[in-house]
Structure 1
Amino acid sequence: MTQNKILLVDDEPAFRELASRWLAGQDYQVRTAGSLEEARQAMVGFDADLVLLDLSMPPHFDPQITLESMVDFEGRPVIIITGHADRDLALKAVSLGAWDFIAKPIDPEMLAVVVRRAITKTTLERELNQLKKAGQSASGAAAYIGHSASSQKVRALIERIAPTDVRVLVTGPSGTGKEVISRTLHELSHRSKAPFVSVHCGAIPDELLESELFGYVKGAFTGAEKDKEGLLSLANGGTLFLDEIGEMPLTMQVKMLRVLQEGTFYPVGGREQKHIDVRVISATNADLVEKVREGSFREDLYYRIKGVNIETQSLAERHEDVPVLLQAFLANLREKQDKTLQLSAEAMQWFRQQAWPGNVRELKNALESVASICPAGHITMDDIHLLYPSTGAYAAPAIGTTPDSDATLDEQVRALEIRLIQKALATTQENRTQAAKQLGLSRQGLIKKIERYGL
């Protein structure tokens, strides 16, 4: 996993040493500078994701000059550090473009939160810019978005295999972005100028699938009044995406095997062999190994389509991706609707706490539904309540919070703890100190439980 980079600019050597060690312990790559000039030099060859900048820096020790120097960091988020919790300076720093403002002595927990949010912003903007440069939509329709370890692993694999013609099998639950991955592979390949043709193997009746894929000649069957090109021919030179290939009938599997082995096929009713040059990407939410075992999927076809296997995870397994996905979807909605569209903190919390059994697809549809009834462009819990009237102020059902009569004692205790923590945080407006006191925990004890449960 690629480390995010932070430039720490502060004139106090002891603080630089302690802060850089702590940040490195949080898995960030850190470079330090003791003056503004050193900071400018440090930027050369160091593509920082974030700048931590002390407000009073040599040689001038003038906050105004320091704030003006933010332009040197080329649009990267800047968090201002000061030994003086001055509200006016904080407001001025933010008005001049600072991402946030944090006072010494620094609370490590607060710093961790502010840094994580700023880097999330940077990464999302970079992803959206890459999409725009590639001529794709900002919706993430052709990009697999996310900050989780599994998402980054998928993206790294996409980048490595996209330029090749290796066949790819994308597996995982429905709604996790299998077609998104397939389109991204196509867009990043040398075939990107040619067609991307998608075939849902389970949506076309068995008796029609062959003629849809291979086409037919005039007189091949009743109603075939003229020759018709099949989807294979339309995809020639490009990418053929076989979605839900696990639902392809066995008779058709035999014929697809010939296409993959020899690059040839016959249209229905035709005698003239056609040659095809396509990259085949397949996807399924089924266990193909089990289907091979039970005889409903050919073993030789399985090994033909499985050049490289990309496995997606459910949104529940990569729940930290929810905020960045929401921001990407919001950016697309803003572009489509040409209006400001934002989520309130409570609305964001609600989206983050849902189980989303339908995964990314369900998350996107839910956001679009709520946005469609939001008159002011600022989505609040009032808008959510209109579509989800039984929802409480903080999400129900949240992940793992609904006790099950069949659940183990540990699972039921976990669910109860999550509900009580959520309730305490809600009633204290997210004040962790007060919430901890209400729950009879130490503040650090509460924080550990919040991290453990991914709240």
Structure 2
Amino acid sequence: MMQNKILLVDDEPAFRELASRWLANQNYHVKTASSLEEARETIAHFDADLVLLDLSMPPHFDPQVTLDSMSDFEGRPVIIITGHADRDLALKAVELGAWDFIAKPIDPGMLAVVVRRAITKTTLERELNQLKKSTQQAQGAASYIGHSASSHKIRALIERIAPTNVRVLVTGPSGTGKEVISRTLHDLSHRATKPFVSVHCGAIPADLLESELFGYVKGAFTGAEKDKVGLLSLADGGTLFLDEIGEMPLAMQVKLLRVLQEGTFFPVGGREQKHIDIRVVSATNADLLGKVQEGSFREDLYYRIKGVNIETQSLSERLEDVPVLLQAFLHRLQSQQSKNLQLSSEALQWFRDQTWPGNVRELKNALESVASICPQGRISMEDIQLLYPSVDRISNTQLISDSSMSEATLDQQVRELEIRLIHHALDKSQSNRTQAAKQLGISRQGLIKKIERYGL
């Protein structure tokens, strides 16, 4: 896992040594600076995720100079380090844009909480902004996207084989994007201007599948009152996608094999042979080799359709793809609903924390459902909880579990309620403490004291 980077700016050598060593033990990559000038030089080549900045720095030891320097670290959260005597100045720093402040002597546990929360929030926000750019390719043609190692490998393989005519078999669990892969292969091929025809082999009754694929001539059977063009002819020059090919009846498998071998077929009831030029991409969530062994799938057909095998993974095995998928889905929803849709960092974290047994299809449906009840365009945990009442809020603070509530004292229950209300107010105000305090009916300083007391 990539280490988060921290720049520690303090003029006390002993503190820099101890603090940087402790942060390094927490798996952070730490660089230090003893002056504001050195900090500016360091940040130019060290892309820090967070800056820990002492309020009183040489040569002037003027806190106002330090506060003015925060603009040098634009785009990164700044946590002010201060003595107790400078508390008012620290509050002013927060008003000017600092993420938070922490007083010396520093409690390692408190520092861990403040640093973790700051990095988590800003990392998510930065990730969302980057994903908006990286998923613009999904605005046009279908595109298989993802940041995981397996998704990068699949994308690289798609780009390599798309210009060829090699047949492709896409395997993997349901809902993992097998049809998206097939469409991407088509869109990146020389056949992109020709039709992409999708056939679900298990959705068409066995007695109708042949006439749907091959078409028929007038009088071929009762009810055939005129000629009908089959899906094979419609796909001529383009791509035929055979979804769930493992469900194709054996009798139909024999006829499909002849098409793949010779590039010709006869419409049902017809005597005129048809020639077609198609690329066949097949998909299945079944074990085709197992079906071959049990006799329900032809071995010769298996090797005909399996020119290159692309195997997809379940979403639970590549959860790092969730944010980029969400952003792509959000973009499509924005186009459909003509409104700006965004995810709060807390809502994004909730989506990332689920295992999604229904894979990408379930993720997409869940996002669409939540977006449909989101009135303002910003999807929050409150919206998610309306559809998923059992969902608890995401929090880095350990709360009293439901199972122990019956044993909790009144003070403990009041503490939990306050924590939940504070989290809710901060989320609704997008972490604006002044607005959150107004929502709670307390002063801003009172809110900061509670945040500090509970280590939020």
* TM-score normalized with structure 1 length: 0.64
Residues 353-395 of structure 1 deviation map (CA, whole Å, 9 limit, x = unaligned): 666443332333233233323444455666556555xx33539
Distance in 2 (alpha carbons) for counterparts of 1:328 and 1:367? 11
Q: Verify: 1:92 aligned to 2:90, yes or no.
A: no
Identity level (%) = 53
Query: 1:201–1:32: structure 2 CA closer, same or farther, 3 Å change rule?
Result: farther
Report what 2:78 is aligned to.
Answer: 80
Shift of 1:297: 0.9
CA contact (8 A) 2:191 2:239 kept: yes
Unaligned runs of 5+ in 1: 72-76, 95-99, 396-416, 433-455
In the alignment, which residue of structure 2 is the partner of 1:368?
368
Distance 1:337 1:233, change over 3 A: same
* Inter-CA distance 191–275: structure 2 relative to 1 (3 Å threshold): closer
Moved more, 305-314 or 112-121: 112-121
State whether residues 346 and 381 of structure 2, in contact with CA within 8 Å, keep that contact through their aligned partners in structure 1: yes
- Matches for 1:127-206 after TM superposition, within 5 Å: 127-133=131-137, 135-136=139-140, 142-145=143-146, 151-164=148-161, 165=164, 166-206=166-206
Q: Deviations over 1:73-113 (max 9, x none)?
A: xxxx533354349344344337xxxxx66869684565456
> Is contact 2:238–2:277 with CA below 8 Å preserved after alignment?
no
Q: Which runs of 5+ in 2 are unaligned?
A: 394-399, 421-456
- Contact 1:55–1:66 under 8 Å retained in 2: no
Aligned counterparts of 1:421 and 1:198: Cα–Cα separation in 2:
54
Tell me how far 1:231 sits from its aligned partner.
2.7
8 Å Cα contact 1:35-1:59 kept in structure 2: no
CA contact (8 A) 1:371 1:379 kept: yes
1:241 counterpart SS class: strand
Q: Distance in 2 between matches of 1:213 and 1:310?
A: 25
Distance (Å, rounded) in 2 between the aligned partners of 1:430 and 1:181: 48
* Deviation at residue 223 of structure 1 after TM alignment: 5.0
Distance in 2 (alpha carbons) for counterparts of 1:260 and 1:315: 33
CA distance in 1, matches of 2:216, 2:58: 78
1:74 maps to which residue? none
Aligned twin of 1:276: 277
Matched, 1:287 2:287: yes
Question: Which one-letter code corresponds to 2:40 in the other structure?
Answer: L
Greater gyration radius: 2
Q: In terms of mean alpha carbon deviation, does 30-39 or 353-362 score higher?
A: 30-39
Give the secondary structure class of the aligned counterpart of 1:93: coil
Cα distance, 1:286 vs. partner?
1.6
Q: How far apart in 2 are the matches of 1:422 and 1:324?
A: 38
Three-state SS of the structure 2 residue aligned to 1:143 is coil
Report the CA distance shift for 1:70/1:180 in structure 2 as closer, same or farther (over 3 A). farther
Residues 242 and 281 of structure 1 are in contact (CA less than 8 Å); yes or no, is this contact kept in structure 2? yes
| 8 Å contact from structure 1 (residues 131, 143) kept in 2 | no
Q: Contact 1:266–1:274 (CA<8 Å) still a contact in 2?
A: no
Alignment check: 8 A CA contact 1:169 1:305 kept:
yes
CA RMSD of aligned residues (A): 4.8
Q: Distance in 1 between matches of 2:384 and 2:183?
A: 32
The aligned runs of 1:205-220 (5 Å cut-off) are 205-217=205-217, 220=220
The offset of 1:299, in angstroms, is: 1.6
Matched ranges for 1:19-418 at <5 A: 35-37=39-41, 39-40=43-44, 42=45, 51-53=49-51, 62-63=65-66, 66-69=69-72, 78-84=76-82, 86-93=90-97, 107=111, 111=115, 114-115=118-119, 118-133=122-137, 135-136=139-140, 142-145=143-146, 151-164=148-161, 165=164, 166-217=166-217, 220-224=220-224, 227-268=227-268, 269-278=270-279, 280-318=280-318, 325-326=325-326, 328-341=328-341, 356-377=356-377, 379=379, 383=383, 387=387, 391-394=389-392
Q: Distance in 2 between matches of 1:216 and 1:343?
A: 51
Shift of 1:293: 1.4
Give the Cα–Cα distance (whole angstroms) in 2 for the partners of residues 261 and 211 of structure 1.
20
Secondary structure, counterpart of 1:233 in structure 2: helix
Aligned length in residues: 380
